[in-house]
Amino acid sequence: MTNCHDDTAATADLTQARRIALVGSPNAGKTSLFNQLTGLRAKTGNYPGVTVGRSVGVLSVGAAQVAIEDLPGTYSLDPISPDEQVVADALAGALPGVDRPDAVVLVADATTLRRSITLVGQVLRLDLPAVLVLTMTDELPARRGSIDLDALAIALGVPVVAVIANRGVGIEALRTLLGSPDIWSRPAVLPPPEADALDAWGTSVLAAAEYAAPQPDLRTGRIDAVILHPIWGLAVFFAVMFVFFQVIFTVAAPLQDRIAAGLDWLGSQVDGHLGGTVLGGVLGDGVIGGVGTVLQFLPQIILLFLMIALLENVGYMSRAAFLMDRVMARTGLEGRAFVAMLSSFACAVPGIMATRTLPSSRDRIATVISAPLMTCSARLPVYTLLVGLLVEPQRRWWGLSAQGVTMFLLYLGGGTAALLAAALFKSTILRSDLLPFTMELPPYRFPSPTAILVAIWDAAKIFLRKAGTVILATSLVLWILMNLPTRGAETAQLSPPEAAAYVLDHSYAAGIGRAIEPVFAPMGFDWRTNIALVGSLSAREVFVSTLGQVSAATNPSSPHQALVAMTDDHGQRVFTAPTVIALMVYFMFALQCMSTVAVMRRETNSWRWPAFAFGYMFVLAWVAAVAARAIASGVGA
Amino acid sequence: MIAMHAVATDDPQRLRWVITGARMPAGGRVRQAPGRLGVLQHDGVIVEMTVHGAEVVITLSPAQRWRDRAEEVRVALDEALDMPAHWRTDPVKRTGELRQAARELLDGPIGEIATAHGGTIELVEVTGDRVRVRLSGACHGCPAAGSTLHDRLQRELRRRFGDAITVSAESASAAKSMGRKLLTLFVR
Amino acid sequence: MLADLAPGQQATITGAASHAPPAVASRLRQLGFRATARVEVIRRAPLGDPTIYRVLDTELCLRRREAELIEIRR
């Protein structure tokens, strides 16, 4: 029952943890409520065998602990796709390894109750102890709707709690209630099973509760008149996209530099005390280098997630998806995949994580394995180097900087490839489920700071744990491969850059580089370039510094001069135009980034898809690079 | 399909079926309902059935359980309410029914609401179509609770017995509430 | 059919087309496109598809292909 005076409800202390599931439609404010109840103590994962994410958190009520599970948002317990089947199965206790909940918290948006009352009825049919939480209860009267909560509780036969999640209203009352599902009132009879009768039941219940539906939200209507206008809307859209990228590059970059500086300092400290020893090397280049790479990603990841979370919470994301749906539909995907693809222009990691908003698992997988083809920011240093080797800075084509045009073409190539790949997969191995494209456009609401913070925190946690460990491990392994065996005796007389080059040329990695030479020979890569390719598996930017080391450049971060002069074992110049073009094309398509692989693994809940992605992209890169080289040589570049 | 839902009473064998938007049969004790509903009566599954305004109060025999019979009754009720003219009902003495209904509500859902808000509501007397109740405890001081409880009770009773019913509430201290009324007049 | 309505127009839904796949019909109904519900066409996307509809107090978008499966009465 609702309660406006001192809380006098008794708390029944429980000795064992109760399991309570949150059920509700998408956009009902369920996740917000979940965060309010469990704080940041939620564990995220996947349901067994599917790509659907699972969140379980803990709530303390008195001395007892309650396990709260945030089930995926659903419109009905009649599943249409395998993902929705998960909710129905979880509630029935039919999922392996997932116990049936002891009680259910139904979360419904008070402003869309006429639609969601049928879901309420379906869940009550499960005959589990249930409580109904109504969210947006402040918005209802603001839009000239109303409801009698006590009458609703009588009509339903279960307790009803009004909650305003952002302001924390009603949370305490709910929290106390969650401690004692045994005393919750239960309905006298279960709502009818068949759809028409259930609709009739819902109508009757809402009539008894004197429910007056809200008027359309005027503010949203006014904003949408601009945001979804054929001309102004698209203008706003491009402006938002522009700001999106500007922020990444102008705000993230300085932060990244700061972190790089800090790590350099740390590295020099290690050098100072342990310089020259293997331990010093492992610690300095391997560990600090690895950690450094991870941390360098962090500002970008956090910023991207901040903006995605902001746009999502305000309500703009669904509008953007609405505008882009026609374009995405040509590839067999839908409007919401646009965000994932777009984010991948900065970094595929948040892009892949953003595929969670797609209801179809096949859409999710297709986007996950295509998105890395988008030209991410890590490719930029590589492209900059290669374009510099290929095209002189002063060259102009049709009045534009030739270097700029080349860059643009490379970006375009990546973007087009991603969309084509998605289209290919969606028309062959990942054909659509039956799910028609439908998407709610919720009213514009002020974003809740908690929701944003939690979204960023979750994302950062995943990135650090998954990608971070993989990158670190890869860095260490690569360091060992590239710096052992040490050649103290042989390098004693050489200058530092020459010594570094010597060690590298005779390292285990060099052995690998020579061994895979046949594979890359058609592209004109020599074994030294191959070492750099191997090295860039941890992160694409590493390619540049490794090439620098390999070519004994005095400044490995900008090895341009050294590379131009570099010759292979036969005395031929390595970086001829055809080879450089082949390298560019190779980088355009190859999946070089282990952190992307790690996040793919997590999001698709198996190694199958990341392995497939790595494989097909390698084949694509190889074929395209060889072809590009052949064409370039033929044309006489 | 007729919109309806069932609400519990203090007796587990008896349920109030609240009907929305349908033409109701005449009020009173149901001697014979049409169709399958009538069969359920005849077979003794339903031992008592009364129509109160927009509600049909149905009591099952002690040998039956609502969890098993609800769907069947619902379908039968839906069918029977399509033919309101075919119901045979005996009108009952109003006041007795009215008093019982008021008592039930005050002992049941409306009383619970009062308790949840920290107060009590009790029946003072029922004369003809007028019901008098008394509010005390926290309800007495709270400007919202008093009016909603009174409105709620009136609404529920009118739903069953028609618009002629009135509910008046008196507070434990008449003088205090008088003063309060004057105060709100000034403060408004 | 719902697809025949232009932005600004309203109608009452009578049900799903008989040739609609049961799963799709079920989903449309769950979303609010139910018999006797009032539906209003709000706007179309600049590229022609999808279209935003308001039904049962929610705004949501459907592609033409699905809007052709919903029967209406003016």
Q: Could you report the per-residue pLDDT of A279-309, keeping only the tens digit for each?
A: 766 776 667 777 777 777 788 778 888 888 8
Q: What is the DSSP letter of A169?
A: B
- Calpha distance A193→C29 (Å, rounded): 15
Contact call for residues B119 and B135 (beta carbons, < 8 A): yes
Asked if B109 reaches chain A (Cβ–Cβ under 8 Å), the answer is yes
Q: Average pLDDT, stretch A548-571?
A: 70
* Phi, psi torsion values for B168, nearest 5 degrees: -120, 140
Domain residue spans of chain C:
2-73
With 0-12 CB in 10 A as exposed, 13-18 as middle and 19+ as buried, what is C46?
Answer: middle
Q: Give every CB contact of residue A176 below 8 A, 6+ residues apart in sequence.
A: A7, A9, A11, A61
Shortest distance between the Cα of B94 and any Cα of chain A, in A, equals 24
- CB nearest A200 (choices: B1, B109, B142): B1
Tell which wins on pLDDT, A620 or A576: A620
Identify the chains in contact with C, defined as 3+ C-beta pairs within 8 A.
Answer: A
For residue A578 the two structure tokens come to 């055809």
H or E element at residue A24: strand A18-24
Identify the chains in contact with A, defined as 3+ C-beta pairs within 8 A.
Answer: B, C
DSSP H helical segments within A551-593, as ranges?
560-565, 577-589
pLDDT digits 0-9 by tens, A348-381 = 888 898 888 888 888 899 999 999 999 888 888 8
Q: How many Å from the N-terminal Cα to the C-terminal Cα in chain B?
A: 48
Contact call for residues A273 and A309 (beta carbons, < 8 A): no
pLDDT digits 0-9 by tens, A184-219 = 999 999 999 998 999 999 999 999 999 999 999 999
- Residue A196: list chain B partners with CB under 8 A: 1
Asked if C28 reaches chain A (Cβ–Cβ under 8 Å), the answer is yes
Nearest to A558 by CA among A398, A388, A351: A388
Q: Are strands A438-440 and C58-62 parallel, antiparallel or unpaired?
A: antiparallel
Which of C39, C52, C58, C62 best tests the A interface by mutation, with the highest count of A CBs <10 A? C58
* Phi, psi torsion values for B3, nearest 5 degrees: -75, 125
For residue A477 the two structure tokens come to 């392994």
Residue A536: the pLDDT is: 82
Q: Is A444 helix (H, G, I), strand (E, B) or coil?
A: coil
Architecture of domain A2-215: 3-Layer(aba) Sandwich (3.40)
Residue type, C6: A
Maximum mean pLDDT: which of A404-418, A515-529, C60-74: C60-74
Question: Within 10 Å of residue A156's Cβ, how many Cβ atoms?
Answer: 25
- Calpha distance A223→A141 (Å, rounded): 21
Asked if A176 reaches chain B (Cβ–Cβ under 8 Å), the answer is no
- Residue B18: list chain A partners with CB under 8 A: 155, 204, 208
- CB nearest A4 (choices: B19, B67, B117): B117
In the block, residue with structure tokens 């809200």: A214
Paired strand residues for A22? A70, A105
- Calpha distance A600→A547 (Å, rounded): 28
Contact call for residues A621 and A562 (beta carbons, < 8 A): no
Query: What CATH class is the domain C2-73?
Result: mainly beta
H or E element at residue B55: strand B55-60
Asked if B113 reaches chain A (Cβ–Cβ under 8 Å), the answer is yes
Q: Average pLDDT, stretch A380-385?
A: 85
Q: What is the CA radius of gyration of chain C?
A: 11
Q: Do chains B and C touch (3 or more CB pairs under 8 A)?
A: no
Q: Is B16 helix (H, G, I), strand (E, B) or coil?
A: strand
The verdict on whether omega for the bond into residue C50 sits within 30 degrees of 0, i.e. cis, is: yes
For residue A514, pLDDT beyond 90 = no
Paired strand residues for A103? A20
DSSP H helical segments within C11-63, as ranges?
22-31
Least confident window among A42-46, A170-174, A229-233, A371-375: A42-46
In the block, residue with structure tokens 């908690």: A450
- Calpha distance A523→A623 (Å, rounded): 9
For residue A15, pLDDT beyond 50 = no
- Residue A434: list chain C partners with CB under 8 A: 21, 23-24
Q: Are strands B28-32 and B14-20 parallel, antiparallel or unpaired?
A: unpaired
Which whole-number Å values give the CA distances from A626 to A369, A388, A620, B123, in the listed order?
23, 21, 10, 93
Asked if A191 reaches chain B (Cβ–Cβ under 8 Å), the answer is yes
Tell which wins on pLDDT, A423 or B165: A423
- Calpha distance A116→A110 (Å, rounded): 9
For residue A4, pLDDT beyond 50 = no
Q: Are strands A103-109 and A18-24 parallel, antiparallel or unpaired?
A: parallel
Residue A16: the pLDDT is: 56
What percent of chain A stands above pLDDT 70?
A: 93
Maximum mean pLDDT: which of A15-19, A225-229, A575-579, B173-177: A225-229
Q: What is the CA radius of gyration of chain B?
A: 19
Maximum mean pLDDT: which of A45-59, B118-132, C5-19: C5-19
- Calpha distance A25→B123 (Å, rounded): 43
Question: Within 10 Å of residue A488's Cβ, how many Cβ atoms?
Answer: 10
Which chain A residue has the Cα nearest residue B78?
A197
Q: How many Å from the N-terminal Cα to the C-terminal Cα in chain A?
A: 80
In the block, residue with structure tokens 């709530």: A59
Contact B7 A154 (CB under 8 A): yes
Q: How many Å from the N-terminal Cα to the C-terminal Cα in chain C?
A: 10
- CB nearest C61 (choices: A118, A213, A438): A438
Domain residue spans of chain A:
2-215
Asked if A76 reaches chain C (Cβ–Cβ under 8 Å), the answer is yes
Contact B20 A155 (CB under 8 A): no
- CB nearest A150 (choices: B1, B67, B113): B113
Tell which wins on pLDDT, A207 or A436: A207
- CB nearest C46 (choices: A118, A233, A329): A233
- Calpha distance A376→A340 (Å, rounded): 12
Contact call for residues A149 and A122 (beta carbons, < 8 A): no
Contact A203 B3 (CB under 8 A): yes
* Phi, psi torsion values for B157, nearest 5 degrees: -70, -35
Residue A116: the pLDDT is: 94
Axis-axis angle for helices A361-370, A402-427 (nearest 10)? 150
- Residue C65: list chain A partners with CB under 8 A: 436
For residue B120 the two structure tokens come to 């009590």
- Calpha distance A329→A319 (Å, rounded): 16
For residue A426 the two structure tokens come to 């969606």
Residue A370: the pLDDT is: 94
| C55 CB-side CA count, 13 A | 32
Contact A115 C23 (CB under 8 A): no
Contact call for residues A111 and C57 (beta carbons, < 8 A): yes
Shortest distance between the Cα of C72 and any Cα of chain A, in A, equals 18
- CB nearest B70 (choices: A1, A3, A189): A189
Handedness of CA A23, A25, A26, A28 (dihedral sign): negative
Residue A120: the pLDDT is: 97
Asked if A111 reaches chain C (Cβ–Cβ under 8 Å), the answer is yes
With 0-12 CB in 10 A as exposed, 13-18 as middle and 19+ as buried, what is B168?
Answer: exposed
* Phi, psi torsion values for A257, nearest 5 degrees: -65, -40
Going through A316-468 in order, the beta strands assigned E by DSSP cover 396-397, 400-401, 438-440
Paired strand residues for B56? B17, B51
- CB nearest A437 (choices: C43, C47, C63): C63
Residue A508: the pLDDT is: 83
Q: Which residues of A346-375 are buried (b: 16+ CB within 10 A; e: fewer)?
A: bbbbbbbbbbebbbbbbbbbbbbbbbbbbb
For residue A383 the two structure tokens come to 């492209």
Nearest to A79 by CA among A71, A133, C65: A71
Asked if A4 reaches chain B (Cβ–Cβ under 8 Å), the answer is yes
Mean pLDDT per segment of 10 residues, for chain B of length 188 residues? 91 92 87 91 91 90 91 94 89 74 83 79 82 76 64 82 79 51 46
